[in-house]
Chains A and B, each alone.
Chain A
Amino acid sequence: MSAVIIIVAYFSLAVFVIVAVYRTLRVATLPVHLRWELAPVPHEKGRSHYGGSYLEEYEWWKKPRSRSLISELIYMLQEILLLRGVWEHHRRLWWFSLPFHTGIYLLIGAGALLLVAAGLDWAGAAAAGVMARAAVAVALVGHLLGALGALGLLVRRLTDPRLVAVRTAGTLFNLVFLLAVFTTGAAAVAMADRPARRLVECTQAVLTADFSAAIPGLLAVHLLLAFLLLAYLPFTPMLHFVAKYFTYHRVRWDDDPLVARPRLEGEVKELLEQPVSWSAPHVASGGGKRWIDIARELPEE
């Protein structure tokens, strides 16, 4: 059994990293787009609380920009840790979405603690035990919160008329999958004999690809599910934690004027040279004229 889990673990991790990096790079390397900012922009110093921008300033191009990275950071932390947007606009969902996301954050933390505990254990450090017990506690809470959240979200999907109308097999499957991972995880940790020791051994077995290690049944099922989820995740919109960086920083809050970004100007000039092949008569692309020529010329009547 451990061999299967270890192989699945490495496979899943590889899939996750490759697909997540691919999708991230794909978005990151897309051409610069036209400005499309949306108020409120939190880095607008002294104005973000009401959604104001530097464009309120008389002859703004003559003034230095006054940005507040702190308020941008505060906004981001509120959004990431407290799900501010869902709190403000979809409270009924927030009660479940928050424990769900908090559970995931805790599980990432528990994973990190376990790695440290495994390392300390190899080094023979006494702190390994404390670290492992902390990991167990964090993992248990994380799984319980995750399960509560996933269950609540599932119930909402099945009962809230707004969500029922648009539910798809995919959204339900994702929640059931997550619920299975969280509940098996909580049960495996809660029911294990000496869970701290078990988890450290298990981590070491995966890290060293030790196929001979014994992994108890429930924990094995949980790990199998969790790793499969890891491989599945980057193919779904659940990868939104990556997308959010771009939707916020590169779209909503990307309010720099071209005059302030000389490097961007070079990129834009290249884009204006791109051939265009839109077919409508008024575009008059001639099957591949340059973007800038199309914008400069008017089609023949």
Chain B
Amino acid sequence: MTLKVRDISRRPGELLDPISPEELVPLPPPYDKPEDQPGWKPINPGSSERLVCNLDGVVATSLPQPKDPEEQRRYVDQFAAGLKKLLDKNNNWTFLQPLLLSLEYCVRCQTCNDACPVFTASGGKEIYRPTYRAEVLRALVGKYAKPGGKLLARLAGNDIELNWTAISRLYELCYRCTLCRRCAQTCPIGVDNGLVTRELRKLFSQELGWAPKELHEKGTVLQLRSGSSTGMNPLVVKDNVEFIDEDIGEETGLAVHTPWDKEGAEVLLIHNAGEILSWPENPGAFAIILNAAGIDWTLASDEVGYDGVNYGLFYDDVQLARIALRHVQVAKKLKVKKIVMGECGHQHKAMVTVSDRILTGQMNIPRESCLVLLERIVFSGKIKFDPSKNDFPVTLHDPCNIVRNLGIVEPQRRILRYLCPQFREMEPHGVNNYCCGGGSGFAVMSGNNFTDWRVSVASRLKFKQILDAFADQPGPEVKKYVCAPCSNCKGQLRDLFQYYGALEKSGITYGGLVELIVNAMVDVKEPFIKWEMH
């Protein structure tokens, strides 16, 4: 029996559509035998009693079981109220027009289906179909937010029930889509199922207060309170960067210095603070390049100003706006000429385009991608390069938020074609790329068995295209580099490569773009790229 939209509210207590690793589309050798792969962690019995698990057997959101039917009913009522607010001009002016267009004009042609890496990787699982979530929302809106909806729904045979089972499954289902918008690109009508998913996440967050803790409590809330989603306060971040400067200085033999809070600087660089903790070579490489090129730049030590992360982009307009406003306030205070985004995709999208229209008047400080600035520097002649130092196979991962969403496609490629003699593209690439699988916050979500799901399902097509790009030298003896100029993508690639043992079996590692640039600098004597998984 094919799963229907209305089934989301039926058979409470059962999994709606269980998924297992055996169903997934095959990977190329040596990853083609499911029995050789690590498998998926079962949810531990304690958690499965405590948490809602009624969708596919995977738990990303860690929604606690409601205490009693009364609590269930309260949430259902809140959802119904949220549904109306989602369609209301005051509460949701930010995305009402694209949302209504997407809800009202889908012709159900399913042209978008094959574009979705999650749906395709899963072997066509019905609940992952890009239209499934949208159909559920459409049916709920039709029945519960429109006059005469209940009668019409019955007549149209679309009789979905708004109950606890439906909303708890729908909430979890919102976290099976990476918001990559590949589906939206292919829709002939221009319907955007990625946006619909985000709007649903927003309803849950802004009305019911439901959001994964990695994105909310440990994400935006922590960032607004302490300055960074990493928990680093201004003192700690300065300390850490000083340590990086020393470390990288020793390693490269160059004097590495990061300027802080320089008033009137040309460039305020904002990193994803995760780089400082997990990939210190990245901010270190930025410092080397910007100093070598004589750029007048600074980092900011005011709270939020040193962390470009803005998880609000993934689930909540209020948190998105709060963080974006703080970013520009910091820039305004320092009187910098422009803000440059570090290697972080969602930071690019949040700050360059999505927040643009709330930055009125003086708040609209110019914002630029680091990829554009780096291209300018690399081709300025101010730094001497020896591309033969990068003579190993390199491919480029296109972060959705920089490439598909912002149209920044070529600057990073021009750098790689110049500095990496063995650069090759993945297929498809550029604006048609596949998401790394860590988009929309997945890369930082790792509760229960969700990491297993996101590396095996959401990343599957990405992993396949990486392997295909290196198919001419598949063995581990040839070291290969996946350039991913985005912090979240790197986090996802790290988990993906570790899960499959890609470094050991295929010699594949990953890193940013600045690392490749520094590796090719004549003045840097020792190899900057370390062939290790970090």
Q: Do A40 and B207 contact each other (CB < 8 Å), given the known contacts A55-B369, A279-B78, A295-B322?
A: no
Could you list 21 examples of A-B contacts with CB < 8 Å?
A35-B354, A35-B356, A35-B357, A36-B95, A38-B192, A51-B404, A52-B407, A56-B372, A57-B372, A165-B126, A237-B108, A244-B190, A246-B97, A246-B190, A252-B190, A258-B360, A259-B364, A277-B90, A280-B205, A280-B206, A282-B221
User: A277 to chain B: which residues have CB within 8 Å?
Assistant: 85, 90-91
Interface residues as binary, B103-133 with A (CB distance below 8 Å gives 1, 0 otherwise) = 0111111111111000000001010010100
Q: Are B96 and A33 in contact (CB under 8 A)?
A: yes
User: B195 to chain A: which residues have CB within 8 Å?
Assistant: 36
Query: At the interface, yes or no: A163 with Cβ under 8 Å from chain B?
Result: yes
B residues engaging A (CB < 8 A)?
Answer: 2-3, 78, 81-82, 85, 89-91, 93-98, 100-102, 104-115, 124, 126, 129, 131, 135, 156-158, 181, 184-192, 195, 205-209, 216, 221, 224-225, 317-319, 321-322, 325, 338, 352-361, 364, 366, 368-369, 372-373, 375-376, 403-411, 430-432
Q: Are A58 and B405 in contact (CB under 8 A)?
A: no
Q: Do A85 and B187 contact each other (CB < 8 Å), given the known contacts A166-B110, A237-B106?
A: yes
Interface residues as binary, A206-248 with B (CB distance below 8 Å gives 1, 0 otherwise) = 0000000000000000000000000000000111100110111
Pick from B188, B205, B359, B410: contact of A79, CB below 8 A.
Answer: B188
Q: Are A39 and B107 in contact (CB under 8 A)?
A: no
Q: Are B94 and A282 in contact (CB under 8 A)?
A: no
Q: Are B319 and A39 in contact (CB under 8 A)?
A: no
Q: Do A237 and B190 contact each other (CB < 8 Å), given the known contacts A165-B126, A247-B98?
A: no
- Cβ-closest 4 pairs across A and B: A247-B190, A53-B407, A51-B431, A85-B188
Q: Could you say which interface size class chain A belongs to? A: 35 or more
Query: At the interface, yes or no: A263 with Cβ under 8 Å from chain B?
Result: no
User: A259 to chain B: which residues have CB within 8 Å?
Assistant: 364
User: B221 to chain A: which residues have CB within 8 Å?
Assistant: 282
Q: Are B431 and A168 in contact (CB under 8 A)?
A: no
Interface residues as binary, A9-45 with B (CB distance below 8 Å gives 1, 0 otherwise) = 0000000000000010001001111111111110010
Q: Are A281 and B372 in contact (CB under 8 A)?
A: no
Q: Whose C-beta in chain B lies nearest to the C-beta of A295?
A: B321
Q: Are B209 and A280 in contact (CB under 8 A)?
A: yes
Query: At the interface, yes or no: A180 with Cβ under 8 Å from chain B?
Result: no
Q: Whose C-beta in chain B lies nearest to the C-beta of A296?
A: B325
Pick from B224, B355, B411: contact of A34, CB below 8 A.
Answer: B355
Q: Are A31 and B407 in contact (CB under 8 A)?
A: no
User: B100 to chain A: which residues have CB within 8 Å?
Assistant: 27, 30
Q: Do A243 and B206 contact each other (CB < 8 Å), given the known contacts A34-B358, A37-B405, A58-B376?
A: no
User: In the complex, A283 Cα to B368 Cα: how many Å?
Assistant: 30
A89 CB, nearest partner CB in chain B, Å: 4
Q: Do A34 and B95 contact each other (CB < 8 Å), given the known contacts A168-B157, A278-B206?
A: yes
Query: At the interface, yes or no: A61 with Cβ under 8 Å from chain B?
Result: yes
User: B98 to chain A: which residues have CB within 8 Å?
Assistant: 33, 36, 247, 251
User: B105 to chain A: which residues have CB within 8 Å?
Assistant: 237, 239-240, 243, 247
A residues engaging B (CB < 8 A)?
Answer: 23, 27, 30-41, 44, 47, 50-61, 79, 83, 85-86, 88-90, 93, 97, 162-171, 237-240, 243-244, 246-248, 250-252, 255, 257-259, 264-265, 268-269, 271-272, 274-283, 291, 294-296, 298, 301
User: A39 to chain B: which residues have CB within 8 Å?
Assistant: 185, 403-407, 409, 431
Q: Do A33 and B93 contact each other (CB < 8 Å), given the known contacts A247-B105, A248-B190, A259-B364?
A: yes
7 additional contacts (CB under 8 A) given A33-B95, A90-B186, A166-B110: A35-B356, A38-B185, A51-B409, A56-B408, A86-B188, A258-B357, A283-B206
Q: Are B410 and A162 in contact (CB under 8 A)?
A: no
Q: Are A278 and B85 in contact (CB under 8 A)?
A: yes
The winner among A36, A57, A97, A250 for most chain B CB atoms within 10 A is: A36
Q: Are A59 and B366 in contact (CB under 8 A)?
A: yes
Pick from B112, B156, B205, B407: contact of A56, CB below 8 A.
Answer: B407
User: A272 to chain B: which residues have CB within 8 Å?
Assistant: 358, 360
Q: Do A298 and B322 contact each other (CB < 8 Å), given the known contacts A39-B431, A50-B410?
A: yes
Q: Are A276 and B90 in contact (CB under 8 A)?
A: yes
Q: Are A51 and B2 in contact (CB under 8 A)?
A: no
User: In the complex, A168 Cα to B94 Cα: how many Å?
Assistant: 32
The winner among B188, B338, B359 for most chain A CB atoms within 10 A is: B188
Q: Are B407 and A40 in contact (CB under 8 A)?
A: yes
Q: Are A246 and B101 in contact (CB under 8 A)?
A: yes
Q: Are B357 and A34 in contact (CB under 8 A)?
A: yes
User: B188 to chain A: which residues have CB within 8 Å?
Assistant: 79, 83, 85-86, 89
Q: Are B110 and A162 in contact (CB under 8 A)?
A: yes
A91 CB, nearest partner CB in chain B, Å: 10
Q: Whose C-beta in chain A lies nearest to the C-beta of B195?
A: A36
Q: Whose C-beta in chain A lies nearest to the C-beta of B155?
A: A169
B322 CB, nearest partner CB in chain A, Å: 6
User: In the complex, A239 Cα to B368 Cα: how many Å?
Assistant: 39
Pick from A59, A248, A269: contact of B368, CB below 8 A.
Answer: A59
Pick from B96, B114, B354, B368: contact of A30, CB below 8 A.
Answer: B96
User: In the complex, A258 Cα to B367 Cα: how many Å?
Assistant: 12
User: B107 to chain A: which residues have CB within 8 Å?
Assistant: 237-238, 240
User: B364 to chain A: which residues have CB within 8 Å?
Assistant: 257-259
Q: Whose C-beta in chain B lies nearest to the C-beta of A272?
A: B358
Q: Do A52 and B410 contact each other (CB < 8 Å), given the known contacts A32-B357, A168-B108, A265-B360?
A: yes
User: In the complex, A25 Cα to B356 Cα: how many Å?
Assistant: 26
User: B410 to chain A: which residues have CB within 8 Å?
Assistant: 47, 50, 52, 56
A54 CB, nearest partner CB in chain B, Å: 8
Q: Are A166 and B358 in contact (CB under 8 A)?
A: no
Q: Are B408 and A55 in contact (CB under 8 A)?
A: yes
User: B405 to chain A: which residues have CB within 8 Å?
Assistant: 37-39
User: In the complex, A269 Cα to B339 Cα: how many Å?
Assistant: 23
Q: Are B97 and A85 in contact (CB under 8 A)?
A: no
User: In the complex, A282 Cα to B215 Cα: how many Å?
Assistant: 13
User: A237 to chain B: which residues have CB within 8 Å?
Assistant: 104-108, 189
User: In the complex, A270 Cα to B491 Cα: how many Å?
Assistant: 40
Q: Whose C-beta in chain A lies nearest to the C-beta of B157?
A: A169
The winner among B102, B111, B366, B369 for most chain A CB atoms within 10 A is: B111
